[in-house]
């Protein structure tokens, strides 16, 4: 249970959730996240969210590095701003 409360444990939960989300059965993925959030021995209500945020940050930093950014966090922030602006209303 302690692992669920660590940054590493939360990130692993995020990887698990994203992996399931990428499969074709989104309803199963939603149910799985709901079970994680309700499990008293699990990561807790915010565990999957924290894990997905950790994973998203890691992926954004890796993308920035792959693009040759010098300031990877600033590049990632700008990328997210642009992405948000391009999303349909």
User: Distance between terminal CA atoms of the chain?
Assistant: 40
What three-state secondary structure class fits 42? Answer: coil
Work out the average pLDDT over 35-58.
Answer: 87
Full residue range of the structural domain in which residue 74 is found: 2-86
5 pLDDT band, cuts 50/70/90, is low
The residue-averaged pLDDT of 13-42 equals 91
Task: State the pTM of this model.
Answer: 0.79
Cα diameter, the chain: 43
43's tokens: 């990561």
Phi, psi of 41 (to 5 degrees): -95, 0
pLDDT in tens, 15-27: 999 999 999 899 9
| Helices within the chain (DSSP H only) | 7-22, 26-38, 47-66, 72-86
In the chain, how many domains are there?
A: 1
Q: Two tokens at 17? A: 């959730």
């Amino acid at each position: 249970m302690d692992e669920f409360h660590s940054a590493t444990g939360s990130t692993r939960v995020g990887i698990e959730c994203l992996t399931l989300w990428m499969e074709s059965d989104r309803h199963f993925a939603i149910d799985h996240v709901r079970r994680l959030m309700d499990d008293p021995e699990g990561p807790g209500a915010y565990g999957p969210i924290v894990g997905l945020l950790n994973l998203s940050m890691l992926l954004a930093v890796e993308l920035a590095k792959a693009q040759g950014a010098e300031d990877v966090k600033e590049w990632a922030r700008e990328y997210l701003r642009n992405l948000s602006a391009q999303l349909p209303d």
